[in-house]
Amino acid sequence: MDFTLTEAERLIRETAREFAQKELKPVAGELDRQHQFPEKPLRRLAELGMMGMTVPETDGGPGASAVAHSLVLMEVSRACASTGVILSVHNSLACGCLVRFGTPAQKQKHLPGLIRGTILGAFALTEPESGSDAAALRTVAVRRGDRYLLTGTKAFVTSGRRAGLILTFATTAPDRGREGITAFLLEPGFPGFAVGRVEEKMGLNASETVQLHLEGCEVPADNRLGAEGEGFEIALKLLEGGRAGIAAQAVGIAQACLEEAVAYAKERRQFGQPIAAFQAIQHQIADMATQVEAARLLTLKAAVLKDAGRPARVASSMAKLYASEAANRVAAAALQIHGGYGYLKDFPIERHYRDARVLTLYEGTSEIHRLVIGRHLAA
């Protein structure tokens, strides 16, 4: 889809690719093994203007397109999926919430730090008892004068221990279901805010995932995002962009798997020739490459629709559904081509295989996206 890119988008992609391949890829394996948060790579991304990159120029940001953002996420995730998901959450959900729903005062207070990368953004919707059924969340917000008291637990919060701003959802009217959900901008210094356990995960080990505990957490009323009861709609609109971001992450991981498989197949010799010469391997590689390209096109289509101001919810779900499942198929095939060596941590494919597995789970499971797409088509 290069023929549709603007010169600015090509330049952004090349800048991201150079950074990812020269600076990020060489350290990605060690970051994963040491469960080390990628502080230096994130600082470099901020220096390159890729933290808060889609924030409009009118709000002090670079004003890059959604297409450019997808291209950056593909390149970063191709090198290190952990860094890719941190960047996606920061840009799509944290910066996105302020750009779309923030007041002028909220933007002035928070956007400069998010764009410079001096503070990191996070998103807290999921709870221990509410995942796909987000409307069933139990965190309660009670108004007390000029502030709200939030009580509850949030789960699976990417960068929750590192974030300086956390978009959090709670119910201000428990009897009203989704119509009672309200959005808040939490800061870690608020009384009653505590970080819980850092989860031990299968993959994305350089990205921290935590629980957050809110015990009467005091949130100024000025930190409410939108009106009371608008939180669920805010979450849905933001997740449209978030899902497109995860689709881009999936494309990046799948591309890395394809490249590792092709390189290994050319080097590995069996029965007197490289295994790349065998038709069975060629067929596998052909299928992998086709799936990667299809996932890339679906992802960029969703970004193009967003840039055009057209509805992109279904396109984002299609991109996320297909790209996440394709990445898992491609990762499995790439590991198979590596044979027993693919099962060893010495080879990057082992990390890519683990990182790919979560793609069909977060930002909406594959089952949820099939519901979104199916309901739209059957309406």
Tokens of 1: 């889809």
In this structure, which long-range contacts are made by residues 369-374, counting pairs with CB atoms below 8 Å and at least 24 apart in sequence?
Answer: 369/243, 369/317, 369/318, 369/320, 369/321, 370/321, 372/313, 372/314, 372/317, 373/314, 373/317, 373/318, 373/321
Both tokens of 296, joined, read: 């890339």
DSSP class of residue 137 equals -
196 neighbors 212 (Cβ within 8 angstroms): yes
Dihedral of the CA atoms 43, 306, 232, 213 (nearest 10)?
Answer: -10
Tokens 């987000």 -> residue: 134
Q: Taking the CB of residue 365, how many other CB atoms lie within 10 A of it?
A: 15
Alpha helical stretches, state H, the chain: 7-19, 25-34, 39-47, 66-79, 81-88, 96-101, 104-116, 231-267, 279-307, 313-338, 348-356, 366-378
Contact in structure between 238 and 311 (CB atoms under 8 Å) = no
Q: Known catalytic residues?
A: 363
> What is the torsional sign of CA 249, 254, 255, 261?
positive
CA distance 223 to 188: 13
Q: What are the Cα distances from residue 77, in Å, to 26, 114, 271? A: 13, 20, 35
What's the token pair of residue 169?
């959802």
